[in-house]
Structure 1
Amino acid sequence: MIRLAPHETLVGDCAAVADALAEWRTDPTTLAATAHPDHVFRPLPERLERWKAAGVHVSPFHSGLYLARNRYSELGLRHMLPLDRVLVGAESTRPGAFGGFHHRDQGYRHLQMAALITMYGPVQQDAPADPGLAMLDLVRAYAHDCLHYGSARRYVLVGGEVVRTQYGINWRQPGGRTYSSSDPQDATHTRNLGVVMEGACDREARRLTRQVANLYNITGPDSPDTPGWWAYRDVTGQLDDGEPAAVAGDRIGGEAGSYVASMGRYQAGVNARYEVWLDEFGAGEPERLHDLVLTATIGGDSSILCHWLDSRHGPGTFSRVFQAGGYLAAPPREAAI
């Protein structure tokens, strides 16, 4: 029997769509083996038990899970990403491998309804080298992927292939055209719905992680010459406009340095652009706008968000800001499920 996430909808020949999705979702371990053959991936509960047996204090993750469950329920998400659908990689055979939230090719995979996460820090061993930072990184990754798991999606079968025609507050026509266009590479702001939703998910995940860090008094290293200095600030949402992460990455070197550089690219391309967008359109209420984005992304109905934007920036603000030229369809409030 097919497993569906909380806000997924099948349209058209629903039985055929369900059968096609079921083929993707039967065994999430095949996803890990294909993406990262050098790492050993284990379900999150098993990985936590192994860490606990090695003397790692895993309570910060459980506290983060509790905080996320309460917060996400307020936003309309009452079912969390099942822990057995989260695979955590470690025990790598690749020399110098360095894991964490910014490791390549990981995160939530909607077709497989599973998430790949790598242990923060050197990945060769079974248990983390820096348990505190590893717990914070795990909280951030899980909280982030939970929001992706719980976001609205609509699937249809086109030519025998599963096509996602809605994700959150963004839409895609069966032929592939999306409601909003990509931002220019050097942009400091955003007009792309994917960036807005990704930024909203990570802002929320980092805020929860910061609460856990404060609760357990977890801090990072003192020296910016270590990846942990950067990782702590990143995972708790405290990266600033000081030294570029790319420069620090070159100084640190190896996969750890590449990890820090990747962190900087994500900060500039997603989180910083989202903060600018909140400042542009928040009308002095950025937290309220942030909550509306998350609620609309989870439920798939953008009508309240559109009304809020219209009341502060004039009629049709959503489509004026986000709709790409040539996208001919009903406005988002009418297209919402």
Structure 2
Amino acid sequence: MVGSSVAASLAALRADTATLTRRHPHHTFRTAGERLARWNASGVDTEPFRTGRETVRERLAELGLTRPLPLSRTLVGAESTRAGAFGGFHHPDQGYRHLQAVSVITMFGPMEGETPVHPELALLDLLRAWAHDSLHYGSRRRYVDVAGVPTRVQYGINYRRTNGASYSTADTADAGHTRNLGVVMEGACDREARRLTREAAALAGVAEPDDPARRLAFRDFTGNLSPEDVAADPGGVEGEEGTYLVSLARYERTVNQRYAAFLAEFAPGEEDELHALVLRGVISGRTAGLSEWLDERHGPGTFSGAFQSSDYFAPSAIP
């Protein structure tokens, strides 16, 4: 929901994606549709992505999201001029950008070529990223105008004051659980994206690789990482691929493991039901169903008691 001035500002931002791709001057970006067509023309069988995409569309529709992220708004970087460039879901400064309504991602694996070195893994990584960012794209958002700048005051089930005060506070660096709604929503988006990617991998018959680094990446795409997989820095992997695996492990510990702990804490034995309620709330922007479900199991006010920051309603936070 936006006013006319905010809508005009957002339209201008969304007409110019170069502001995002310029942050990656070594990579060439093409839409996901163009990338897939080029890969297919070079002999890569892209059917695993296309089949998986239909499964994703069906599942998102079940959750209330009828229009996933268009492939034309999904930009995939490759053909890099940077020696040793390594891409994928955990490449720096990539993902969905809500002001521009575009996803900036990179081809998994070595990026110096136009086609992937590991085609099956690149297709699974692209499917995971697209499904993940489709949930971000379809999340409920509200913007207001603040001194001529469109400012987001709602994202899914999270809220923010125009001065930056958030409904929930950030987790501590060593937290094993979460009380941050941003982490809950990010974890929910990735849990769903990885589950759907796992289904696509099984349907396409993609087996877990023997190579240790690629095995970690495969387990990441499909949501099968163990705590032992990410407990220590990967040894023997140098350059950007080593950096990528360090980022993979950090994301698993700070997002996916914390979200899994949230589900286990508030919905033991009913994790899938709570997970679906979170996603439906993120898409609709309504917390009533989620709050009622939590209240029935943990008592009145569970949602606000778990997540509401005292600073959010402080007089200094309210303009």
Q: Same fold (TM over 0.5)?
A: yes
SS of residue paired to 1:182: coil
TM superposition score normalised by structure 1: 0.91
Question: 1:253 Cα deviation (Å)?
Answer: 1.2
Change (3 A) 1:296 1:256: same
Provide the identity percentage: 55
- Structure 1 Cα separation of the partners of residues 135 and 70 of structure 2: 12
User: Pairwise mapping of residues 226-305 of structure 1 onto structure 2 (< 5 A)?
Assistant: 227-244=213-230, 246-248=232-234, 250-305=235-290
> By how many angstroms is 1:244 displaced?
3.5
* Separation in structure 1 between the aligned mates of residue 208 and residue 104 of structure 2, nearest angstrom: 24
Aligned residues: 314
Cα distance in 1, alignment partners of residues 300 and 237 from structure 2: 50
Aligned equivalent of 1:324, options 300, 309, 316:
309
Shift of 1:246: 4.3
1:332 aligned residue: none
RMSD of aligned alpha carbons = 1.1
Q: Counterpart of 1:335?
A: none
Residues 85, 115 of structure 1: 8 Å contact kept = yes
Counterpart secondary structure, 2:236: helix
How far does residue 82 in structure 1 lie from its aligned partner after superposition?
1.0
- Work out whether 1:27 is the aligned partner of 2:16: yes
In structure 2, the residue corresponding to 1:88 is in which secondary structure? strand
CA distance, structure 1, for counterparts of residue 230 and residue 131 of structure 2 = 26
What SS does the corresponding residue of 2:206 show, helix, strand or coil?
Answer: coil
Which residue does 1:3 correspond to in 2? none
- C-alpha deviation, 1:245, in angstroms: 5.9
SS of the counterpart of 2:45? coil
* Partner SS, residue 108 of structure 1: strand
CA distance, structure 2, for counterparts of residue 96 and residue 245 of structure 1? 26
Partner of 1:211: 199
* Residue 30 of structure 1: how far off its partner (Å): 3.5
Q: 1:247 to 1:283 in 2, by over 3 A?
A: closer
Give the TM-score, by structure 2 length.
Answer: 0.96
Contact 1:80 1:150 in 2 (8 A): yes
Contact map agreement 2:48 2:123 (CA 8 A) in 1: yes
One-letter amino acid of the counterpart of residue 231, structure 1 = A
2:1 is equivalent to residue 15 of structure 1: no
Measure, in 2, the Cα distance between the counterparts of 1:183 and 1:41: 34
Q: What is the CA distance between 1:149 and its match in structure 2? A: 0.1
Post-superposition CA distance 1:100-147 (Å, at most 9, x none): 000011110000000011000000000000001001000000000000
SS of structure 1 residue aligned to 2:219: helix
Structure 1 residue 176: deviation in Å?
Answer: 0.9
SS at match of 2:96: strand
Q: Distance in 2 between matches of 1:197 and 1:251?
A: 34
Q: Which amino acid aligns with 2:16?
A: D
Structure-2 separation of matches of 1:185 and 1:245: 15
Q: How much does 1:243 deviate? A: 4.4
Query: Within 2, Cα distance between the matches of 1:243 and 1:307?
Result: 37
**Correspondence for 1:4:** none
* Mapping 1:1-337, distance limit 5 Å: 9-10=1-2, 14-32=3-21, 34-224=22-212, 227-244=213-230, 246-248=232-234, 250-328=235-313
Shift of 1:35: 1.6
The answer to whether the 8 A contact 1:245-1:263 is kept is no
Question: Whole-Å Cα distance in 2 between the matches of residues 162 and 215 of structure 1?
Answer: 43
CA deviation after TM superposition for structure 1 residue 50, in Å = 0.7
